[in-house]
């Protein structure tokens, strides 16, 4: 019995050990299973996240592909600026007019969070704005323009407010780099980029031609010369207290206009509606009696018809002549016998009148017609004047011979002088480079042209000449003065001087005109080496004086190399 129990006890003992060992193995497998499950969960989680990302990106790609997506880079990267109008440049390619990107400042009241603060800021930055009107517009909650055509400085000030309600509307604006320097020539465009005056209007279609958009419109004007003449003419208006003035410089061979100035002028960048007549283009639209300027026409016509020679003596010239009810006289007292050239040099009304009577009315009429003096000038702007109509009645031949009773534009008068000096052929004036040189008809012979140039030179150099103050050393200026009453106001003078230079081989014609100048009592003239004060109000004492100053300034730019000037300069250098 004892043995049996022992076995039984051992059996139980072994059994107990077996079950313990089995439990441990099972426990180990259980922990491994848990680890495997955890790893699987993590894999599932990563897969889910990865799948979600793929799904999100897929949806986003589909969304972008189906909808117009606006991104910051695309909206703010530089875009090609397509011009609506061509540039305008001077003869040397210097920019005069160009389209640029500009802005209107608008306001959307719905996006303005604090309207009171907005109005306060506007008042501080732009004190000249009508704040009350803006306040009313803000209350209406309707889109409105705060200011059109704002400057870059104004745009930056508005931008600095950080107001979402302020909107900058882009548009193309026409700017003029020289503001008022070319105001009477270039003209202006409206808000829709249509030309409304000057070259801008005359060439509106050509300037908007897309096929030529990259090719600037080249003018005949020279910016440096325009600037110098404008300055001298402005100084002259101040010195002689003139109410206005004008000047035009033209190449007498091809008609190209290098400068055209009319004062007062205006800033064309301001887009102001100019209605005052004092701002008209006096050179092309102004219509005037130019006085003794016409005496050159009379003398040239008489010589060309072989009625007289420059040295022909006109004898017994009276002090005055009665013509119908009118009495015509000279302001100064001249010798009774004068040569034809002396009549022009001294500017005798009576002497010129007597020569005109030899010519006769029919020949004079033809000359006036051929010279186109009674028609509007042909030039590439629409601002041109129409001379006042007149009838060839009693005494008309006599008065027209010395420039009274007939009107024309300064540009027309200059064109005739160009023809008289270039060999006798009329050349149409032009503002467009390489379009000039259109010769219309012969006015006088080449032989007569040379004789006229010699006489005009003596008007400047001779003792009794009326334009001595235009005798600028080295440039051989020739020309004729004209002093007349302002048409429509007998109390005002119109003083004009037309010059040709250099007279041996004429190339340029310059007209200088002053409206209602006064005696410059404080001006000291250098009159043939003598210092004298101004005491007279005639073209020779103001317009000719100003022309001389202009020629002295622009002569080097024009590269005038007259033989006399070159020889003298070389001689002085060698000494």
Least confident range of 17-31, 119-133, 144-158, 414-428: 17-31
Tell me the mean pLDDT in the region 102-107: 91
C-alpha separations of 445 from 31, 149, 298, 448, 531 in Å: 128, 56, 15, 5, 41
Residue-level pLDDT at 534 = 82
Residue whose token pair is 């799904």? 55
Question: Cβ–Cβ contacts within 10 Å for residue 13, how many?
Answer: 10
Question: What's the pLDDT band for 15 if we cut at 50, 70, 90?
Answer: very low
Residue-level pLDDT at 43 = 79
- The residue among 551, 552, 545 whose CA lies nearest residue 467 is 545
C-alpha separations of 197 from 101, 193, 230, 382 in Å: 22, 12, 21, 7
Question: What's the pLDDT band for 74 if we cut at 50, 70, 90?
Answer: very low
Residue-level pLDDT at 126 = 82
Spatial neighbors of 236 by CB under 8 A, at least 6 apart, are: 242, 245, 512, 514, 517, 542, 546
Asked whether 380 and 432 are in contact (CB, 8 A), the reply is: yes
Tell me the mean pLDDT in the region 276-303: 96
Tell me the mean pLDDT in the region 6-12: 44
pLDDT over threshold 90, residue 550 = yes
Rounded Cα distance, 418 and 499, in Å: 10
Residue-level pLDDT at 1 = 43
Residue-level pLDDT at 58 = 78
pLDDT over threshold 70, residue 536 = yes
pLDDT over threshold 50, residue 67 = yes
**What pLDDT digit, counting tens, does each position of 292-351 carry?**
999 999 999 999 999 999 999 999 999 999 988 889 999 889 999 999 999 999 999 999
**What pLDDT digit, counting tens, does each position of 110-161 carry?**
899 888 888 988 888 888 888 888 889 898 889 999 988 888 888 898 888 8
Q: Helices 446-461 and 295-304 meet at what angle, rounded to 10?
A: 140
Residue-level pLDDT at 387 = 94
Question: What's the pLDDT band for 390 if we cut at 50, 70, 90?
Answer: confident
Mean pLDDT of the chain: 87
Residue-level pLDDT at 574 = 53
pLDDT over threshold 90, residue 415 = yes
Residue-level pLDDT at 40 = 75
**What pLDDT digit, counting tens, does each position of 444-498 carry?**
999 999 999 999 999 999 999 999 999 998 899 999 999 997 766 667 889 999 9
pLDDT cut 70: percent of the chain above it? 86
Span between the terminal Cα atoms of the chain, in Å: 165
Q: Read off the DSSP letter of residue 215.
A: S
- Beta strand pairing call for 425-427 and 530-533: unpaired
Tell me the mean pLDDT in the region 355-382: 95
Asked whether 498 and 247 are in contact (CB, 8 A), the reply is: no
Residue-level pLDDT at 59 = 83
pLDDT over threshold 80, residue 423 = yes
Nearest-10 Cα torsion for 223, 226, 231, 235: 180
Rounded Cα distance, 409 and 501, in Å: 22
Residue-level pLDDT at 24 = 47
Question: What's the pLDDT band for 49 if we cut at 50, 70, 90?
Answer: confident
Rounded Cα distance, 151 and 168, in Å: 12
């Amino acid at each position: 019995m004892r043995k049996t129990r022992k076995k039984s006890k051992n059996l139980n003992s072994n059994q107990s050990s077996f079950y313990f060992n089995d439990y441990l193995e099972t426990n180990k497998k259980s922990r491994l299973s848990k680890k495997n499950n955890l790893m699987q969960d993590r894999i599932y989680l990563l897969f889910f996240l990865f799948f979600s990302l793929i799904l999100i990106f897929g949806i986003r790609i589909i969304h972008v592909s189906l909808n117009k997506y606006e991104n910051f880079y695309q909206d703010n990267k530089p875009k090609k600026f397509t011009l609506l109008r061509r540039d305008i440049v001077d003869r040397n390619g210097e920019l005069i007019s160009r389209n640029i990107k500009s802005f209107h400042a608008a306001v959307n009241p719905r996006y303005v969070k604090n309207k009171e603060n907005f109005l306060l800021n506007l008042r501080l930055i732009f004190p000249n704005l009508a704040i009350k009107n803006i306040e009313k517009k803000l209350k209406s909650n309707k889109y409105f323009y705060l200011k059109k055509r704002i400057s870059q400085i104004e745009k930056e000030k508005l931008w600095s407010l950080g107001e979402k309600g302020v909107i900058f509307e882009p548009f193309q604006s026409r700017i003029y780099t020289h503001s008022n320097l070319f105001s009477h020539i270039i003209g202006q465009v409206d808000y829709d980029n249509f030309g409304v005056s000057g070259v801008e209007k005359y060439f509106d279609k050509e300037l908007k031609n897309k096929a030529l958009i990259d090719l600037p419109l080249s003018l005949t004007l020279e910016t440096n010369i325009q600037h110098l003449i404008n300055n001298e003419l402005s100084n002259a208006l101040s010195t002689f207290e003139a109410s206005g003035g004008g000047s035009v410089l033209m190449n007498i061979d091809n008609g190209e206009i290098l400068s055209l100035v009319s004062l007062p002028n205006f800033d064309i960048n301001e887009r102001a509606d100019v209605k005052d007549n004092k701002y008209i283009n006096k050179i092309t639209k102004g219509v005037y009696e130019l006085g003794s300027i016409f005496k050159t026409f009379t003398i040239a016509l008489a010589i060309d018809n072989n009625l007289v020679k420059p040295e022909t003596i006109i004898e017994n010239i009276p002090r005055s002549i009665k013509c119908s009810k009118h009495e015509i006289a000279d302001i100064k007292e001249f010798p009774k016998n004068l040569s034809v050239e002396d009549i022009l040099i001294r500017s005798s009304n009576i002497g010129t009148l007597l020569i005109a009577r030899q010519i006769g009315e029919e020949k004079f009429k033809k000359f006036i017609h051929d010279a186109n003096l009674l028609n509007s000038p042909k030039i590439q702007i629409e601002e041109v004047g129409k001379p006042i109509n007149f009838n060839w009645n009693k005494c008309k031949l006599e008065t027209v011979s010395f420039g009274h009773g007939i009107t024309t534009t300064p540009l027309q008068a200059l064109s005739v002088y160009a023809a008289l000096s270039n060999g006798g052929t009329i050349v149409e004036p032009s503002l467009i480079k390489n379009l000039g040189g259109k010769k219309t008809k012969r006015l006088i012979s080449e032989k007569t042209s040379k004789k006229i140039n010699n006489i005009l030179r003596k008007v400047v150099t001779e003792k009794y000449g009326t334009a001595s103050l235009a005798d600028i050393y080295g440039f051989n200026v020739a020309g004729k003065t004209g002093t007349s009453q302002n048409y429509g106001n007998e109390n005002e003078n119109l003083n004009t001087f037309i010059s040709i230079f250099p007279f041996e081989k004429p190339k340029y014609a310059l007209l200088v005109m002053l409206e209602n100048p006064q005696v410059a009592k404080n001006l000291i003239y250098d009159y043939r080496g003598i210092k004298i004060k101004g005491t007279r109000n005639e073209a020779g004492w103001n317009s000719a004086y100003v022309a001389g100053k202009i020629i002295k300034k622009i002569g080097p730019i024009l590269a005038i190399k007259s033989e006399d000037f070159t020889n003298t300069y070389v001689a002085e250098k060698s000494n």
